[in-house]
Structure 1
Amino acid sequence: MGLSEKVQLLGAGLYTDIPDVLTLSSIPTVSELDYVGNEDFDKTMLDSILPKAVEEKINFRDLLEIDYEWICRCLRILNYGPYFTTNMVLCPTCKDAVRGREQQVDLQTIDCKPLPAGFTNDITIPAGAFIDYKQDVHMHLMTIARVIEMNNDKSFKLADGGVNSRLARACYCITSIGNHTHMTPVEVKLELSKNFSPADYLILADEVGRLSDYGLRAAGRCACPVCGNKEAAYLALSSDRFFRPSVGDLRAWGQARGERGMEDLRRYTASAVQKHS
């Protein structure tokens, strides 16, 4: 019998057509994720995996970016447990990245920053935040569909093939500036280039980052395999890698699951659920 668990979304109350709680279940035994790389992970997850693994019928592309990442991480823990083997740890004592030594970490050590009580997805950066610019800026948290569109937008490509991610995120998060409403990312980019001083642009980019900084953190805590410092960290971005646990990870989960039953996922989601109740 497959496992299932109800998970409350971080953006509970912000959706029109998506319930606050989704029911996650086991993904197919041999899933499409076994055949994809990071470049097509999101498409496969949205189009093939989530429709099979989530009981409720919704448009998964309408999920906020923070909820998409939250669901992916919860689904991973439900199906494969919380343990993950990494070969890179960042240690403040060693003052360097410890590479090449495998370390089993617990994904449940990744903190999640919930939305504040009463949050509405219309965030204002007041004109007073800037040095020269004299108009308010409005922004919102992006859906995962919007993030994918941003990542594919050639308007923000750099000469070396990379992406000006700071500028792209600002232009895609911002919805209006002063009397200019329903702005496209290209229109926002034009306004920033024409009317924002270099100092005000830096302030704006910093405010966009700060005011959209919710959801799962990028790293979790672990012990350093060299010096044993328990305040070391490992990176944990949602990707195909996290759906490919080692046999050792699965065996560690099997032992823990026998001792705790389904507490792994319930414990992981409890904090966010309580803060949204």
Structure 2
Amino acid sequence: MQIRNLSFLCIFSFLWITNTLLAQSKRTSPDPAPFQHMTVAAGLSTLGGNLELATPLSPHFSLKAGISTYKYHTRRRQFNLSDPHGALHMAFGQNVAYSTRAEITNVHGNIVVDYYPFPDGLLYFSGGFYFGKTKLLARGTIVNRNGSPAQLQPPFIWPELIFNGKKLDIINGRLDADLTLGNTIKPYLGIGLGRAIPKKRFGVKLELGVMYAGDYTITQNNSRGGTTLLRENNFEKVNAEIDWFKYYPMAKFQVQYRLF
């Protein structure tokens, strides 16, 4: 996925620019007073483009707040549907799949405190919260394994599909659903290199961390739909693709500008 590729790019940048940051650590300056300075930082992360404001609270702590966002459309993909009891095979006369193209939209704000164990150092540890939602709008059709539209065999009607205990309706061969990935409030822990306030006008920061997003919710036609006690899941492969969002990896690279 594009998010994973962005993670690798940010991690590579983290390692590549470490030497430059460590060289800056030799400079010393008086400890900043609370709210005496402020920086604005812009960059890229696994949550998309981001913009942050940061200010020191003490020689060891700084506060930052910002916003991150992205929006993109995935390429069309086909997922084979699991059929543990053969119900789909009977309804369609063969094994079927779900062909879909999704739109993913993310908007998050954050309030995070950075702790610097060495007042004039570059290493810091982060803790705080991200607020917002990542939504995935799946629009697709039920198809045969060769990609052609699936045809019902008489006398069957369009069956219900089960996605992690939720019943989803197929309407004339189409299956549309909306997923909200994770909770609205997400705790975050991270580690990074870079000063809260650059020594010169410009600086850079690199950060790696993990955000606990939590479980996802799925809705169809603006309703969460019915539940079932059946343990089967027709979307095992889809579920495996999105389950990694529960612990969302964070990789962030920023360019800073000291305002005052």
Instruction: State the TM-score, normalized to the length of structure 2.
Output: 0.30
Which structure shows the higher strand fraction?
Answer: 2
Structure with more helix by fraction:
1
Structure index of larger Rg = 2
Q: TM-score, normalised by structure 1?
A: 0.29
